[in-house]
Amino acid sequence: MDLNGAGALISGGASGLGAATARLLVERGAHVALIDLDADKANALAGELGDAAHAVPCDVTDPGEMEAAVDEAATLLGGLRLAVGCAGIGWAERTVHKRGAHSFEPYEKVIQVNLIGMFNLLRLGANAIAQSEAGQDGERGAVIMTASIAAFDGQIGQLSYSASKGGVVGMTLPAARDLAGRGVRVNTIAPGLFDTPLLAALPDDARKALGDGVPFPQRLGKPSEYAALVASIAENTMLNGETIRLDGALRMPPK
């Protein structure tokens, strides 16, 4: 896929991995729609990126809102070639602890945002991309989802998060096979420890300790490195149905 002139939709696009992806795609000549629950942040980033970016406030868990947002993005961008899912939340709680069993509502919320929200991006984004004119090799575009190494190395307290991200990994290959006839590729990135707003709340020494545990390089990942992989996946037509760990060879211990 040629990113120059391509329309790209990014959920969770106002901060963290999504914002870094938006910046790089615009640098490569793409036009982006920033789908995010935080309208103020989305509008601020769109203003920073200029005419190539549009803010589309939306709750990814709401099917109606998401369908309207994808339609709006396709209209604003003159069609879609790329959909990138970065929206997600976390939660820490053991299956059974001193206060009793794992709470139901947080588990449901994490699944709703991380898995069902990603499913909405996948199904609606792919449907919009499938309306595009086929290019080289019959390709119309690509969907790139975000999982986590927690899908494989879930730690103590990561029950809901690991389940949600494991579900994203599980959707990748069947979706790629479903969409092959329409020329739409599907891949997933499973990041390790990245310097995102979630970790920014930790003290500097705690963040350094996390980075020191990565085999190489011994630091937290940079959102720009995630964005670079998004661009590489988009541009490499042979890459399809794959989940790629982006983690510096980190394998998470139990806790």
Alpha carbons 197 and 18: distance in angstroms, whole number: 11
Q: Is residue 88 part of a domain?
A: yes
Q: Is residue 80 part of a domain?
A: yes
Q: Is residue 112 part of a domain?
A: yes
Q: Is residue 254 part of a domain?
A: no
Residue 201 pLDDT > 80: no
Q: Is residue 120 part of a domain?
A: yes
Q: Where are the beta strands (DSSP E) in 107-229?
A: 141-146, 184-191
Q: What residues make up the domain containing 236?
A: 7-246
**What total number of domains does the chain contain?**
1
Confidence of residue 204 (pLDDT cuts 50, 70, 90): confident
Catalytically annotated residues: 161
Alpha carbons 19 and 204: distance in angstroms, whole number: 22
Give me the percent of the chain exceeding a pLDDT of 70: 100
Average pLDDT for residues 106-118, to the nearest whole number?
Answer: 97
pLDDT, residue 241, reads 98
Q: Is residue 191 part of a domain?
A: yes
Alpha carbons 159 and 167: distance in angstroms, whole number: 12
The encoded tokens of residue 243 equal: 């989940």
pLDDT, residue 209, reads 86
Q: Where are the beta strands (DSSP E) in the chain?
A: 7-11, 31-36, 53-57, 82-85, 96-97, 100-101, 141-146, 184-191, 243-246
The tens digit of pLDDT for each residue in 206-231 reads 788 889 999 999 999 999 999 999 99
Which CATH number fits the domain that encloses residue 241? 3.40.50.720
Q: Is the peptide bond before 217 cis (omega within 30 degrees of 0)?
A: yes
pLDDT, residue 25, reads 98
pLDDT, residue 208, reads 86
